[in-house]
Amino acid sequence: MGRVRNFDRDAVLESAVDVFWERGYDGAGMQEICRVTGLNPGSVYAAFGDKHGLFIEALKSYMASMSRETIARLNSNPSGRAGIADYYAALIEAMLDGKRRWGCLVTNSIVEFAMNDPQISEAFQLHLARLETALSGAIERAKQAGELSRDVDAAEAAVFLVCTTQGLNVLAKTRPSRRTLEAITRHAFTALGFEA
């Protein structure tokens, strides 16, 4: 009979997310991972297989959490425009004063692994699809409310906003000013045709 794991898996994954997010996969040594999670190397290997297994689980946990928060934020306002504006305002705040100053764990991972890891690539595509769907829904609401031209293709506009978001995520690691971040989102709104 196997040994019962006596740790909180969600808490371990949350701690692992922070290490990988701040340091990257290669920069997160097993000693640091064990220190932060409170696990010994044997427990990490028993529970997750290896460092890569822990990383994949942490990445999936992060993406699920981000997807929930993003979808809730975009859908919390009946106005599609306001939902999108709220999403970008929260993103900017996190880039200036929160963990997003490290960039986005998903974006960082794609840059670090250069799409050579099929598990990360698959998870990334799913994450982007969720974001596109949520943004597309907000754009459709904006069109229905007359906040945006009905000629705007919601799916294409959502892809454009996802690109804008990923660009912001990369830029966040350079510690940009609020003015720079807000200018980018303002121009993205203008490009879509949102009224001021």
Provide the whole-model pTM: 0.84
Among 189, 178, 192, 190, CA closest to 91? 178
pLDDT by residue (tens digit) across 40-75?
888 888 889 999 999 999 998 988 888 888 889 998
- Mean pLDDT throughout 113-123? 77
Distances (CA, A) of 163 to 24, 34, 109, 112, 144: 22, 35, 16, 18, 24
pLDDT by residue (tens digit) across 151-160?
999 999 999 9
pLDDT at 2 exceeding the cut of 60: no
- Mean pLDDT throughout 148-177? 93
Domains identified in the chain and CATH numbers: 62-192 (1.10.357)
- Mean pLDDT throughout 83-100? 90
